[in-house]
Amino acid sequence: MSISLNPYLFFDGNAKEAVYFYEKALGGKVMGIMTYGDMPADPNHPLTDDMKNRVMHAHLKVGDADIMFSDTYEGMPYQPGDSIQMAIHPKEEARAREIFAALEDGGQVIVPLHKTDWSPLYGQVKDKFGVNFQVNVPAEQPQY
C-alpha cells in the first residue's frame, strides 16, 4: 500500500503571500499555484473578482517535504491557528474510501467523497478528535 501525508495550511486571502514567504524562509521551491479563477467557471455559482484571485491550491516543496496552501472560500469562517489540515493521498480509491470511513466514525463529513477536476476521489472529514483531514486520490499528473 502506498500513501503519503502532508500539512495543508489555510489562509484568508493571503495564501499567495504566505507561499512566497515560506519559500524564502525555508529555502523551498514553489511547484505551482492555482487560483479559484483558474478552474472551469460554474454559471450556477459565479465567483467575485476577489474570489477568482484567491488561491485554491498551492504546492511548496521543502527538501523532501510537501506543504500545501489554500485560501478559504469567501465568507467561510477563518480562525488563525485552526488553519492546518492533514492531507492524505492514497493511490487506490478503495483505500481512500476505507480511510475516509474510519475517520468519519464519530466525526463529521465536511465534503463527501466525490470526483473533482483534480482528483478521481476527494473529500474532507473532521474526525472525532476535531482534526480536519482531506482525502485525495492523486490524478496521474498534478494540474496547476
Per-residue pLDDT tens digits for 24-79 = 988 899 999 999 999 998 899 899 999 999 999 999 998 899 999 999 988 888 77
Q: What is the pLDDT of residue 82?
A: 67
pLDDT tens digits, one per residue of 75-91: 888 777 667 888 888 88
Give a three-class secondary structure readout of the chain.
CCCCEEEEEEECCCHHHHHHHHHHHHCCEEEEEEEHHHCCCCCCCCCCHHHHHCEEEEEEEECCEEEEEEECCCCCCCCCCCCEEEEECCCCHHHHHHHHHHHHCCCEEEEEEECCCCCCEEEEEECCCCCEEEEEECCCCCCC
**Superfamily the domain 5-137 falls into:** 2,3-Dihydroxybiphenyl 1,2-Dioxygenase, domain 1 (3.10.180.10)
Residue bearing the bigger pLDDT, 109 or 144: 109
Distance, in Å, from the CA atom of 127 to the CA atom of 56, rounded to the nearest integer, reads 23
**pLDDT higher than 90, residue 116:** yes
| Nearest alpha-carbon partner for 137 in 91, 99, 98 | 91
Q: How far apart are the first and last CA of the chain?
A: 27
Tell which residue, 84, 77, 69, 62, has the closest CA to residue 35. Answer: 69
Q: Are 76 and 54 in contact (CB under 8 A)?
A: no
CA angle 117, 82, 15 (to 5 degrees): 50
Q: Mean of the per-residue pLDDT values for the chain?
A: 89
Q: What pLDDT is stored for residue 144 in this prediction?
A: 53
